[in-house]
Amino acid sequence: MVFGRLPSEERILLTGAKGQVGGELLKTLEPLGVVIAPERAMMDLADATSVRDTIRAVRPRWIVNPGAYTEVDRAESEPDLAYAINAEAVKVIGEEARVLGAGVIHFSTDYVFDGSGEEPYVETDTVGPMSVYGASKLAGERALAESGAGHMIFRTSWVYGARGKNFLLTILKLAREREALRIVDDQHGAPTWSRDLARMTAHVIKRCEATAQTIGWKAALQDASGVYHAAGGGDTSWFEFAAEAVQQQREKEPGVRFAKIESISTDQYPTPARRPSNSRLNCTKLKERFEWTMMYWRDSLREVLSEL
Catalytic residues: 133
Minimum CB distance to ligand NDP, residue 117 (Å)? 19
Residue 33 interacts, among ligand NDP, ligand TDO, none and using kind-specific CB cut-offs from 5 to 8 Å, with none
Contact residues toward ligand NDP (CB under 6 A) are 16, 18-22, 40, 44-46, 66-70, 85, 107, 109, 137, 156-159, 164
Residue 243 interacts, among ligand NDP, ligand TDO, none and using kind-specific CB cut-offs from 5 to 8 Å, with none
**Residue 188 vs 258, nearer CB to ligand NDP:** 188
Give bridge partners of residue 45 from the DSSP assignment. Answer: none
Minimum CB distance to ligand TDO, residue 262 (Å)? 9
HSE of 133, CA atoms in CB hemisphere, 13 A: 18
Give bridge partners of residue 180 from the DSSP assignment. Answer: 260
- Provide the 3-class DSSP secondary structure of residue 215: helix
**Residue 55 vs 181, nearer CB to ligand TDO:** 181
**Residue 127 vs 212, nearer CB to ligand NDP:** 127
Minimum CB distance to ligand TDO, residue 110 (Å)? 5
Residue 199 interacts, among ligand NDP, ligand TDO, none and using kind-specific CB cut-offs from 5 to 8 Å, with none
Whether the CB-CB separation of 103 and 29 falls below 8 Å is answered with: no
Residue 58 interacts, among ligand NDP, ligand TDO, none and using kind-specific CB cut-offs from 5 to 8 Å, with none
Where do the DSSP E strands lie in the chain? 11-14, 34-36, 62-65, 103-109, 150-156, 159-160, 180-184, 188-189, 192-193, 226-229, 236-237, 260-264
Residue 44 interacts, among ligand TDO, ligand NDP, none and using kind-specific CB cut-offs from 5 to 8 Å, with ligand NDP
Contact residues toward ligand TDO (CB under 6 A) are 70, 72, 109-111, 157-159, 167, 170, 181-184, 187, 238, 269, 275
- Return all residues near 40 (Cβ < 8 A) that are at least 6 apart: none
Minimum CB distance to ligand TDO, residue 290 (Å)? 21
Phi-psi region of 45 (alpha: psi -120 to 50; beta: other; left: phi over 0): alpha
**Strand pairing of 62-65 and 103-109?**
parallel
Whether the CB-CB separation of 244 and 298 falls below 8 Å is answered with: yes
**Residue 54 vs 194, nearer CB to ligand TDO:** 194
Minimum CB distance to ligand NDP, residue 118 (Å)? 20
**Residue 144 vs 220, nearer CB to ligand NDP:** 144
Whether the CB-CB separation of 264 and 183 falls below 8 Å is answered with: yes
**Residue 50 vs 70, nearer CB to ligand TDO:** 70
∠25-275-79 over CA atoms, to 5°?
75
Minimum CB distance to ligand TDO, residue 73 (Å)? 7
Residue 61 interacts, among ligand NDP, ligand TDO, none and using kind-specific CB cut-offs from 5 to 8 Å, with none
∠152-39-108 over CA atoms, to 5°?
25
